Structure 1
Amino acid sequence: MANPRPLPIDPLAEAKRQWIAHGWTDAAGGMTAVISIMRAQQLLLARVDAALKPFALSFARFEVLRLLAFSRQGRLPLSSVVSRLQVHATTVTSTAERLIRDGLIVREPHPHDGRAAMLALTDDGRALVERATDALNDEVFSRPGLSETDTADLVGIVARLRRDAGDFTDPRPLPDPL
């Protein structure tokens, strides 16, 4: 996704200039913000993908494994995985099937609901997600490309955007601010 060499101009600055030139001044700042976030997501996802490639994991597969590894017993109901990852059930089911095929998780019956399924981490899955997490921490998360202050400011701004869009509500009592 990244260019082999930087462009001579910032295409988003040029897009903003064009927006203003075409009379869309009121929308120019918002367009620039939205497209900037989308481009940053592409750049960061490329780094994440590169860090996970040696483990044959997509970020979606990593997220399922990491979520299960964070749980107390290495297992969660499928519905909880869907809810916590905020993706469609079909996506989680498809991702889970690939992880099952690769021996990284197993599907188990739910202990209290015969209609529901549990996803459980295998020993191989736990070992892989720990190695992949170390790689992500080392190659991406410990050096996101921003100073600590800018990182904290960005997380706070994006958290407000997400909250105001209805992505979550502030829990009570409030945790430390992002």
Structure 2
Amino acid sequence: MPASAPLPVDPIAEAKRQWLVHGWHDAATGMAAVTSIMRAQQIVLSQVESVLRPFSLSFARFELLRLLGFTRGGELPMSSAVARLQVHPTSVTKTVDRLVRDGMVERAAHPTDGRATMLTLTPRGSEVVEQATAALNAQVFARPTLAGEDLSALVGILARMRRNVGDFRDPDPLPDPL
């Protein structure tokens, strides 16, 4: 969350200076980058959560609802939700529990796999996620604090970082048409 008044000095720049003073030259820029990402994440999450608060949603709950809203028929196996959200199954289970309690998602047995659970978006969940998406689009996503070129560069840099640590891989090229 941003401070009520800007600090007179960038604390991350000061931390980097201290890293250098202490002889940690090889790690100073990496520390500044990691710390900057962490701080930026705190700022963005605070903005997103303030927009979602009137809908009684956390970002995790919004993500799950939005994922279901993007599917055909508003349903998805729980295991697919876990894989796509890239979080621990226990976290998804807790998120689903709250959404079920609030009448936004229903759980049901998978029609063909007795071991699997299906998640289904309810009409209430659909209405809430559409309203929350419109609010996020208007108040956060359409008004980022970076200009177009910087924003595109940031997305590309972070995608390379995620790919380099194995978060995803580039898709195989499509075969040439015959």
Gaps of 5+ in 2: none
Report the Cα offset of residue 108 of structure 1: 1.0
**1:125 corresponds to which residue?**
125
RMSD, matched Cα = 0.8
Opposite residue 73 of structure 2, the aligned amino acid is Q
2:110 equivalent to 1:110: yes
Q: Distance in 2 between matches of 1:75 and 1:93?
A: 15
- State how far apart, in whole Å, the 2-side matches of 1:56 and 1:173 are: 42
Pairwise CA distance, 1:144 = 1.3
**How far off is 1:131 after superposition?**
0.2
What displacement does 1:2 show? 1.9
Q: Which residue does the alignment assign to 1:150?
A: 150
Letter of the aligned partner of 1:143 in structure 2?
R
For 2:146, give the aligned amino acid.
Answer: L
Q: Which amino acid aligns with 2:157?
A: I
Shift of 1:115: 1.1
In structure 1, the partner of 2:35 is 35
Q: d(CA) in 1 for partners of 2:144 and 2:58? A: 19
Aligned length: 174
Report SS of the residue matched to 1:73: helix
Matches within 5 A, 1:22-171: 22-171=22-171
Q: CA deviation at 1:143?
A: 1.0
Q: What residue number does 2:3 align with?
A: 3
- Give a deviation string over 1:107-161, Cα, whole Å, max 9, x none: 0110110111000000000000000000000111001100011110000000000
The runs of 5 or more residues in structure 1 that have no matched partner are: none
Give how far 1:173 is off.
3.0
Q: Which amino acid aligns with 1:34?
A: V
Q: Give me the whole-angstrom Cα distance separating, in 1, the residues matched to 2:152 and 2:57.
A: 28
% same residue:
62
What TM-score do you get using the length of structure 2 for normalisation? 0.96
CA distance in 2, matches of 1:61, 1:2: 24
**Distance in 2, Cα, partners of 1:143 & 1:17:** 32
| Runs of 4+ that moved beyond 2 A | none
**How far 1:172 moved relative to its partner?**
2.2
TM-score, structure 1 as length reference: 0.96
